[in-house]
């Protein structure tokens, strides 16, 4: 969209613009309500459009809307990991975590409902979307660490940390965003370093990495 | 059951014994196959009983059988955490982890299918069973640590580690039980200590705990 373009309710949107408008409306509803409590009618109301229009875009109903919104959120989440390969590693990680925590904060309830599972709309397709983001996060971290062929111990450490970060995010939302995002970010970064140090005791590849991290400012 | 009691196929079992026999048969099938691929007929065959008999115990079908088997596995998993409150803390934790990893190894595929979600038979009830075990694990650890009122940072650390242990178990099963269980156990124990040390930098309660752990052999 052109930055200064007017967007009155009656402006004709392209199919892509309309779809994206509806998904934004859905995501903002999911941020405060569990997915199963958001109807297509709610989305129509939030977006200020007619019900038939929403049904035209999502003929598969609530489930289709939810999967599309999830796909769009997953895409946004992947962008959090886009970080140039320059500068100190831990600083890059901190910046990515800042974006991730802002995303978690913005999407609130929808993020929890999805990751905690047990939602009535959870299916193997939604699980696959979430797993794809997890895998992407692990690949990003390993590529920033500059490891060409990560061995199983290093890979497992990174995947465990990602799971722990997810758990921390859910608890953080549950506990009214305490501790403050800045503290949580530093804590998580230090945890990754500590986990890598433990792995380094039994894995030469991780040992080399830790030495590189120590000399990296 | 009395240890020396004969168990020919035609012996009359009590309702509880029969139910437990069927659940054992189901759990051994879930160890090698995803829950959705196990039918009540398969369970009848594995237990050497008639199909109508299995249907009589589980009139709700596959879903009911799965939930009952999961409940029984959760019960068994909780027993892994039963550890007397004596001796060095990290040794107690090691023993509990040994039992946990033996459980994971024994239940294999069924354990993965359940925790990875996306199973067709997953429901909010099964999620609640799994969450109950997670909560029990956290309570056990905190009680062994001897902390009367764990603050949010200590509690979050323990919950993050439990999630990381789960992730490690799934990866471990995926990768043909590598590294060996003994190494994985020691690695996980050292990770908890490392995470607590990081938390101790910003949490006096955890700091006190770390000092206690250091003097505890």
> A-chain residues within 8 Å CB-CB of B197?
194
Cβ neighbours for B78, distance < 8 A, ≥ 6 positions apart:
B133, B136
pLDDT at B88: 93
Classify domain B67-214 by CATH number. Answer: 1.10.357.10
Q: Which of B117, B167, B194 sits opposite A163 (nearest CB)?
A: B167
Q: Which of B120, B179, B195 sits opposite A191 (nearest CB)?
A: B195
Secondary structure (H, E, C), chain B: CCCCCCCCCCCCCCHHHHHHHHHHHHHHHHCCCCHHHCCHHHHHHHHCCCHHHHHHHCCCCHHHHHHHHHHHHHHHHHHHCCCCCCCCHHHHHHHHHHHHHHHHHHHHHHHHHHHHCCCCCCCHHHHHHHHHHHHHHHHHHHHHHCCCCCCHHHHHHHHHHHHHHHHHHHHHHHCCCCCCHHHHHHHHHHHHHHHHHHHHCCCHHHHHHHHHHHCCC
Residue A43, SS3 per DSSP: helix
CB burial class (10 A; 0-12, 13-18, 19+) of residue B129? middle
- A39 vs A58: CA distance, rounded Å: 11
pLDDT at B2: 45
pLDDT at B114: 62
Which DSSP category does A33 fall into?
Answer: S
Asked if the A72-214 domain carries CATH number 3.40.50.300, the reply is no
pLDDT at A113: 66
pLDDT at B11: 66
Take residue B40 and report the two structure tokens written for it.
């009540």
Question: Does residue B158 contact residue B139 with C-beta atoms inside 8 Å?
Answer: no
Mean pLDDT of B5-29: 78
- Put simply, the answer to whether A164 touches B166 (Cβ < 8 Å) is no
Residue A217, SS3 per DSSP: coil
- A108 vs A65: CA distance, rounded Å: 18
Mean pLDDT by 10 residues, chain A (217 residues): 50 85 88 82 94 93 85 87 93 96 86 58 71 90 91 96 92 91 97 98 96 83
pLDDT at A36: 77
Mean pLDDT of B64-83: 87
Interface residue of B90, B118, B150, B188 to substitute, partner A, most A CBs within 10 Å: B118
pLDDT at B42: 95
> B-chain residues within 8 Å CB-CB of A127?
116-118
Q: Which of B159, B171, B202 sits opposite A156 (nearest CB)?
A: B171
Give the global pTM.
Answer: 0.86
Chain B residue closest to A178 (CA)? B152
Could you give the count of Cα atoms lying within 13 Å of A23 in the half-sphere of its Cβ?
19
- A75 vs A27: CA distance, rounded Å: 13
pLDDT in tens, B16-26: 899 989 998 98
- Tell me if chain A has a CB within 8 Å of the CB of B199: yes
- Put simply, the answer to whether B199 touches A187 (Cβ < 8 Å) is yes
pLDDT in tens, B132-184: 888 999 999 999 998 889 999 999 999 999 999 999 998 998 889 999 999 99
Interface residue of B161, B189, B198, B203 to substitute, partner A, most A CBs within 10 Å: B198
- Residue window 114-133, chain B: list those with CB within 8 Å of chain A: 116-120, 122-124, 126-128
- B206 vs B201: CA distance, rounded Å: 8
Cβ neighbours for B20, distance < 8 A, ≥ 6 positions apart:
B72
| Residue B185 vs residue B76, higher pLDDT | B185
Per-chain mean pLDDT for chain B: 87
DSSP string, A147-212: -SS--HHHHHHHHHHHHHHHHHHHHHHHTTS-S-HHHHHHHHHHHHHHHHHHHHTT-HHHHHHHHH
Cβ neighbours for A17, distance < 8 A, ≥ 6 positions apart:
A1
pLDDT at A9: 54
pLDDT at B119: 46
Domain locations in chain A as residue ranges: 72-214
- Distance spanning both ends of chain A, measured CA to CA: 40
- Put simply, the answer to whether A198 touches B202 (Cβ < 8 Å) is no
pLDDT in tens, B90-129: 999 999 999 999 999 988 877 776 665 444 455 667 777 8
Question: Does residue A74 contact residue A135 with C-beta atoms inside 8 Å?
Answer: no
- Tell me if chain A has a CB within 8 Å of the CB of B143: no
The b/e string for A35-64 (b: 16+ C-beta within 10 A; e otherwise) is beebebebbbebbebeeeebeebbeeebee
Q: Which of B116, B167, B198 sits opposite A191 (nearest CB)?
A: B198
> B-chain residues within 8 Å CB-CB of A153?
179
Interface residue of A156, A201, A203, A206 to substitute, partner B, most B CBs within 10 Å: A156
Chain B residue closest to A183 (CA)? B202
Question: Does residue B169 contact residue B137 with C-beta atoms inside 8 Å?
Answer: no
- A82 vs A92: CA distance, rounded Å: 10
pLDDT at B116: 58
ipTM: 0.85
- A43 vs A49: CA distance, rounded Å: 8
pLDDT at A120: 46
CA distance B86 to chain A (A): 26
């Amino acid at each position: 969209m052109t930055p200064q373009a007017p967007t009155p309710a009656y402006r004709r949107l392209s199919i892509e613009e309309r779809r994206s408008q509806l998904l934004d409306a859905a995501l903002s509803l999911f941020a405060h309500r569990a997915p199963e409590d958001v109807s297509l009618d709610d989305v129509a109301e939030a977006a200020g459009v007619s019900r038939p229009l929403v049904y035209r875009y999502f003929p598969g109903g609530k489930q289709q809307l939810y999967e599309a919104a999830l796909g769009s959120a997953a895409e946004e989440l992947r962008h959090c990991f886009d970080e140039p390969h320059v500068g100190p590693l831990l600083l890059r990680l901190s910046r990515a975590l800042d974006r991730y925590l802002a995303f978690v904060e913005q999407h609130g309830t929808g993020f929890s409902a999805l990751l905690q599972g047990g939602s009535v709309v959870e299916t193997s397709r939604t699980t696959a979307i979430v797993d794809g983001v997890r895998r992407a996060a692990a690949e990003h971290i390993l590529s920033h660490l500059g490891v060409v062929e990560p061995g199983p111990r290093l890979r497992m450490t990174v995947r465990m940390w990602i799971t722990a970060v997810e758990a921390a995010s859910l608890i953080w939302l549950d506990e009214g965003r305490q501790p403050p995002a800045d503290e949580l970010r530093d804590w998580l970064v230090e945890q990754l370093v500590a986990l890598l140090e433990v792995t380094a005791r039994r894995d030469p590849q991780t040992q080399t990495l830790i030495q590189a991290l120590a000399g990296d400012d």
